[in-house]
């Protein structure tokens, strides 16, 4: 009998994270409980991330996997490459500075997608509503309101629906994301592409997004090399540009009443 196709595709994008690769992949291997495939996208790596990734995959016995090397295409395009190669019914996007810290994290994260037909996107980081203010690009600035995260949602049995989510880790209904034609590469190299996806999902199909807690460790000092001091100017320019694209396209969505709904999901 042929093996069952994976119902989850875990997609990890890596850019020069040789110091963390082993820990990130080990956590995925030891804590994942779905029938999953693992897709590793090496995005313009110039260090030993490839060798560390392959060694970790072998050491922790990930049975179904693929490794794809790309030029330095950055997060938006790298995630799209992974999703277009994926075979699962659900995608889970993981960044290279995130260590999942809960047995069955993947099974838990896709639970809202399986339970609710009108849900397309689930974040284990946060979900929130958004204010009609232009050119605000920092998640810590006062543009996001009515936030749902581990500090505000007191019960793990609540799935908190809001207008938008923030990436990391994020689960997506594969068929719905294909109908939306994945992340919009106009937002490349990165940022605001996930927020745009939420807006398009709601405006085109009435699909919702939200927050459902799944434990993950991600320390600020692990952050990508592209956001450190040497690249701060590029980061700020990109964020400012993309927030402008988003507000120009989706001012109608931003000005809608807040989407605030907490669904019970034990």
Q: What's the CATH number where 124 sits? A: 3.90.550.10
Any domain includes 2: no
What is the largest distance, in Å, between two alpha-carbon atoms of the chain? 56
User: Once rounded to an integer, what is the mean pLDDT over residues 242-260?
Assistant: 92
What domain range is 212 assigned to?
8-264
Any domain includes 1: no
Any domain includes 20: yes
Any domain includes 64: yes
Question: Does 66 or 6 have the greater pLDDT score?
Answer: 66
Instruction: Express each pLDDT in 206-219 by its tens digit.
Output: 999 999 999 999 88
Any domain includes 3: no
Residue 226 binned pLDDT confidence (cut-offs 50, 70, 90): very low
Q: Can you list the pairs that 185-189 forms with residues at least 24 positions away whose Cβ atoms lie under 8 Å? A: 185/76, 185/77, 185/80, 186/245, 187/76, 187/242, 187/245, 187/246, 188/73, 188/74, 188/76, 188/77, 189/73, 189/74, 189/75, 189/76, 189/77, 189/238
Any domain includes 147: yes
Any domain includes 131: yes
What pTM was computed for the model?
A: 0.93
């Amino acid at each position: 009998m042929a093996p069952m196709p994976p119902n989850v595709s875990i997609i990890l994008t890596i850019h020069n994270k040789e110091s963390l690769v082993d820990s990130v992949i080990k956590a995925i291997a030891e804590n994942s409980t779905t029938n999953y495939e693992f897709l590793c996208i090496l995005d313009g790596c110039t260090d030993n991330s490839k060798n560390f990734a392959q060694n970790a995959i072998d050491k922790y016995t990930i049975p179904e996997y693929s490794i794809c090397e790309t030029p330095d295409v950055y997060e938006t395009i790298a995630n799209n490459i992974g999703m277009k190669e994926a075979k699962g019914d659900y995608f889970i996007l993981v960044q290279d500075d995130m260590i999942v810290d809960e047995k069955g994290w993947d099974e838990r994260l896709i639970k809202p997608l399986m339970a609710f037909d009108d849900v397309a996107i689930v974040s284990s980081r946060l979900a929130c509503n958004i204010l009609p203010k232009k050119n605000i690009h920092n998640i810590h600035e006062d543009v996001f309101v009515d936030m749902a995260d581990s500090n505000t949602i007191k019960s793990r049995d609540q799935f908190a629906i809001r207008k938008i989510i923030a990436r990391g880790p994020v689960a997506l209904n594969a068929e719905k994301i294909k109908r939306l034609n994945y992340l919009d590469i106009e937002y490349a190299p990165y940022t605001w592409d996930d927020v745009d996806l939420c807006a398009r999902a709601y405006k085109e199909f009435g699909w919702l997004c939200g927050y459902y807690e799944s434990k993950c460790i991600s320390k600020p000092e692990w952050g990508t090399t592209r956001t450190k001091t040497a690249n701060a100017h590029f980061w700020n320019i990109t964020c400012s540009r993309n927030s402008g694209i988003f507000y120009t396209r989706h001012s109608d969505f931003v000005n809608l009443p807040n989407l605030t709904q907490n669904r019970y999901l034990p």
